């Protein structure tokens, strides 16, 4: 079972929820930190990780003696990554998605592909908790290849939690796509509601069942409650706006460590999510 934890807005508590869900239960869980531009789940976990693999994409390299500057490659590129000059085609690798379109378009066979490292992933395990963290190298722009690879890595596990990147663009879609259930974390504020509604549109387009968790419940207004009720979206749980959670967060500790009340709260949310996702055999 794959559960993705996402949000439109950044900083709503995706990692807080993901980490605490993972630490609240007694069965095996694989937590995937797919926020590869700024992975921070590890800060709150009682385990060590080790880099296990580099992630590469295929990037085009132009043989300038064969290149006739015909421009077919630049025309084929959907990402504006190639410009043609009298000296041959220039490839801007930061813009390249590694799709291979230019390679197919070149009539001279002047383009070959070479792997380029764009990031890596790291893994760790302690007790029932397995953890995989993807990390995009500084200066790189393409998060999806790393997200795809770490999701693939966790594919065989029975219970996978995917801590997704914020927003509603390619990295978020890549993380959420194919999940059995998506939890959209929001704060009960006008900003939270605005970005929640964008995320709702996205997961609806992906045709994935979803529910909402409200974090910092007690601040803001009733807008999110009213929106969810009018859109028939289930609010799976609410995490109170409690200074103790912020304090434990700032120490790099999970909220489940504050006391049995929070462990029970997150466990209850986990069981509800699993139930909505169709899981029958949770112990």
Partner 1 sequence: MKIVLTAREKSIDTEMDPRFGRAPFFVVFDTEWGSYSFLDNEQNLNATQGAGVQAAQNVVKAGADVLITGSCGPKAFQVLQASNVDVVTGDQGLIKEVVERFNRGELKAAQGPDVESHWV
Residues in contact with partner 1 by CB under 8 A are 74, 79-87, 90, 92, 94-95, 141
Which residues are CB-neighbours of 261 under 8 A, at least 6 positions away?
Answer: none
Angle made by CA atoms 262, 199, 25, in degrees to the nearest 5: 25
- Pick from 194, 232, 159, 200: nearest CA to 3: 159
Complex with partner 1: residue 94 or 268, whichever CB lies closer: 94
Q: Which two tokens stand for residue 6?
A: 């996402």
Calculate ∠ Cα 16-216-128, nearest 5°: 25
Q: How far is the CB of 264 from partner 1 (least distance, A)?
A: 45
Least distance to partner 1 from the beta carbon of 78, Å? 10
CA distance 59 to 282: 44
Q: Where are the beta strands (DSSP E) in 78-208?
A: 82-85, 88-91, 111-126, 129-136, 160-163, 181-186
The minimum distance between CB 87 and partner 1, in angstroms, equals 5
How many other CB atoms are found less than 10 A from the CB of residue 149? Answer: 18
Closest to partner 1 by CB, 170 vs 206, is 170
- Rounded Cα distance between 188 and 213, Å, is 10
Question: Least Å distance between CB 43 and partner 1?
Answer: 29
In the bound state with partner 1, the residue whose beta carbon lies nearer, of 74 and 203, is 74
> Cβ of residue 91: shortest distance to partner 1, in angstroms?
10
Could you identify the residue written with the tokens 């926020």? 35
Minimum CB distance to partner 1, residue 86 (Å): 6
Q: Is 269 exposed, middle or buried (0-12, 13-18, 19+ CB in 10 A)?
A: buried
Nearer to partner 1 among residue 75 and residue 126 (C-beta):
75
Which C-beta is closer to partner 1: that of 139 or that of 156? 139
Dist. CA 239–CA 245, nearest whole Å:
10
d(CA 282, CA 28): 10
Kindly tell me which of 82 and 159 has the beta carbon lying closer to partner 1. Answer: 82
Q: Tell me how far, at minimum, the Cβ of 79 lies from partner 1, in Å.
A: 6
**Beta carbon nearer to partner 1, 97 or 153:** 97
């Amino acid at each position: 079972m794959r559960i993705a934890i996402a949000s439109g807005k950044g900083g709503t508590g995706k990692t807080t929820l993901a980490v605490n869900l993972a630490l609240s239960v007694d069965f095996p869980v694989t937590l995937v930190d797919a926020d590869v531009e700024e992975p921070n789940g590890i800060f709150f976990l009682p385990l060590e990780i080790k880099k296990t693999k580099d992630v590469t994409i295929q990037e085009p390299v132009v043989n300038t003696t064969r290149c006739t500057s015909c421009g077919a490659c630049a025309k084929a590129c959907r990402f504006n990554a190639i410009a043609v000059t009298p000296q041959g085609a220039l490839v801007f690798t930061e813009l390249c998605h590694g799709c291979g379109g230019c390679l197919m378009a070149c009539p001279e066979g002047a383009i070959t592909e070479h792997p380029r490292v764009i990031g890596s992933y790291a893994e760790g395990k302690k007790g029932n908790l397995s953890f995989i963290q993807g990390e995009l190298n500084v200066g790189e722009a393409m998060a999806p290849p790393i997200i795809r690879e770490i999701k693939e890595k966790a594919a065989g596990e029975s219970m996978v939690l995917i801590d997704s990147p914020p927003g509603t663009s390619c990295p978020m879609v890549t993380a959420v796509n194919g999940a059995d259930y998506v939890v959209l974390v929001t704060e009960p504020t006008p900003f939270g509601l605005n970005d929640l509604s964008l995320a709702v549109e996205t997961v609806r387009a992906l045709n994935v069942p979803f529910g909402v968790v409200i974090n910092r419940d007690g601040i803001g207004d009733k807008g999110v409650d009213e929106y969810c009720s009018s859109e028939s979206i289930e609010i799976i749980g609410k995490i109170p706006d409690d200074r103790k959670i912020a304090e434990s967060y700032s120490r790099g500790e999970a909220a489940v460590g504050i006391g049995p009340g929070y462990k029970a709260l997150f466990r209850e949310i986990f069981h509800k999510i699993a139930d909505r996702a169709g899981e029958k055999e949770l112990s």
